[in-house]
Amino acid sequence: MAQGNSVSLSSKLGPEERAAAIARLKERELDVLVVGGGIVGSGAALDAATRGLSTGLLEARDWASGTSSRSSKLVHGGIRYLEQLDFRLVREALIERGLLLQRLAPHLVKPVRFLYPLNHRVWERAYIGAGMLLYDIFSWSGGRPPGVPHHRHLSKRQMLRAMPSLAGDAFVGGLTYYDAQVDDARYVAMLARTASSYGAHVASRVRVEGFIKVGERVVGVHAHDLETGEKFDVRAKQVVNATGVWTDETQAMVGERGQFKVRASKGIHLVVPRDRFQSTTGVILRTEKSVLFVIPWGRHWIIGTTDTDWHLDKAHPAATAADIDYVLEHVNKILAVPLTREDVEGVYAGLRPLLAGESEQTSKLSREHLVAHSVPGLVVIAGGKWTTYRVMAKDAIDAAVSALDGKIPESTTQDIALLGAEGYQAAWNKRRKIARAFGVHTVRIEHLLNRYGVLTDEILDLIKARPELAEPLPDADDYIKAEVVYAATHEGALHLEDVLARRTRISIEAWDRGVSAAPVAAALMAEVLGWDEAQTEREVNTYLKRVQAERESQLQPDDESADRVRLEAPDIVATA
């Protein structure tokens, strides 16, 4: 069915769809153009498209290449915000957590259990227990079940049963509670695809280089396709700036001072093998600066985070040796057998976009979000947290809609499931039958269902046509070759780094950080994207330089040194 006449558009996001989207963006004025392809920008594009607005979405790099792929991978209310008495934010986040778990993305968002060790027998148990009770109450306040069990108090013996690797002198008892986790980068890629399936014209690797103004009004942007070199204009009645930590830079293009500033706070995470310590649950710890999470992540643990000011390159924040030592020092306070640098498989650093002005300490800065019509025709959305992206997106589009003519429907995204979600539970219940039908191990089918939902059928179709695509990637057994092909044909992956760092998480999960998988993955992508031998070699070499620079930056003593070393590796596509 032709796109112009169809109600439901293609869910595919490959090279042809990208070219078609750019052609449409050049042809006609949009109702809304969103700049920034992270979680909030992609969410805003879906919100606008599902209201019936003609919508565009542009991202200078890859989907979720900034903050949105480098989070703690938690969907949570934020226990620590209770202590700051930010009850409204916690309640809002917990309602969104339930919505994501049960309606919007049950294939991507999963419950995760945490232990909270206690060091004092009476007052601390009462204090933390009261906070946990409030957490549970807020999670029910949205009119639907929370989707996770309530908190429970545990004795010291029960704590050790749940986590035998706890140091016996590190606690006197504890509590257990639930939050949720998500593969953040995969979620954003699926969100952009979902927006496209509802009619949004989405394109990554397209940089906005300036705003078009008529008088004082913004009426569009000057865009640059970094893949082809073509420059073109996109006209829109309203432009939404959803560029996260780059908000100040984007606002400067308008020639106006923003109404608020965004301050970047660096958080780093370590990835270690699951067998380095024994536990059936995650752990949350208080530190002098923030909180530290130990999060189960497949065959790994994710441990983080830090919270420090960052004033250097925003595209590639670097973890230092001091950052890594800080995380290891704090997690080792509760482990019977301490972790060392040799136990660390992967490291990643991300930047939180915090609203500046409330405090000098980034850990105290607001996680609230703000929306402003900074100049006519331009809406700015900044701040916030990953979990509440849908509310942020709704608020941004509400602001854009207020300046449009006609009666425009309210947001419907509370009922719009992401691609792959509808029918997921039925597919999960049939996973053993599916495995037998395709001659694949059940664990592999479970892996695919928890990454693609019912779209797993499309992966299995690739394997049916080419059985060799069922083979795992070298030194990255959790991922198969078909996933690389699918990333390029359906998920908007244009470069090797997009696949190894974001469509899969090989860059942080594999001991060699994807060095062995890189040539195989590049060859598979070359078939789909038409790379010649020189381009394929360039993709591999650029990725290997990235890995080397990241490893070396993580040996440096301070941010300045780490930043300098990390930037020695070139980007596959220059964005500066």
Task: Report, as an integer, the average pLDDT of 543-555.
Answer: 98
Task: Report, as an integer, the average pLDDT of 271-282.
Answer: 96
pLDDT(365) > 70: no
Q: List, for residues 382-439, the tens digit of each pLDDT value.
A: 998 999 999 999 999 999 999 998 899 999 999 999 999 999 999 999 999 999 999 8
C-alpha distances in angstroms, 345 versus 130, 284, 464, 474? 37, 21, 34, 16
Q: List, for residues 90-111, the tens digit of each pLDDT value.
A: 999 999 999 999 999 999 999 9
pLDDT(166) > 50: yes
pLDDT(343) > 80: yes
The model's confidence at residue 82, banded by pLDDT at 50, 70 and 90, is: confident
Q: Is 133 helix (H, G, I), strand (E, B) or coil?
A: helix
The pLDDT value recorded for residue 7 is 41
Global pTM reads: 0.95
Residue 174 phi/psi, 5-degree rounding, is 180, -170
pLDDT(133) > 60: yes
The model's confidence at residue 381, banded by pLDDT at 50, 70 and 90, is: very high
The pLDDT value recorded for residue 10 is 64
The pLDDT value recorded for residue 143 is 84
Query: Over the chain, what is the mean pLDDT?
Result: 93
The pLDDT value recorded for residue 57 is 98
The model's confidence at residue 491, banded by pLDDT at 50, 70 and 90, is: very high
The answer to whether 441 touches 470, Cβ cutoff 8 Å, is: no
Q: Is 96 helix (H, G, I), strand (E, B) or coil?
A: helix
C-alpha distances in angstroms, 128 versus 87, 95, 131, 170, 281? 15, 21, 5, 17, 19
pLDDT(363) > 60: no
**Of the candidates 221, 232, 184, 223, the residue with the CA atom closest to the CA atom of residue 204:** 223
Task: Report, as an integer, the average pLDDT of 328-332.
Answer: 96
CA torsion angle for 95, 98, 100, 101 (degrees, to 10)? 170
Q: List, for residues 437-478, the tens digit of each pLDDT value.
A: 998 999 999 999 999 999 999 999 999 999 999 999 999 999
Residues 6+ apart with CB under 8 A from 329: none
Q: Which residue has the higher pLDDT, 286 or 530?
A: 530
Q: List, for residues 511-520, the tens digit of each pLDDT value.
A: 999 999 999 9
pLDDT(256) > 70: no
The pLDDT value recorded for residue 261 is 85
The pLDDT value recorded for residue 409 is 97
The answer to whether 307 touches 265, Cβ cutoff 8 Å, is: yes
CA torsion angle for 383, 389, 394, 399 (degrees, to 10)? 20
Share of the chain above pLDDT 70, in %: 95
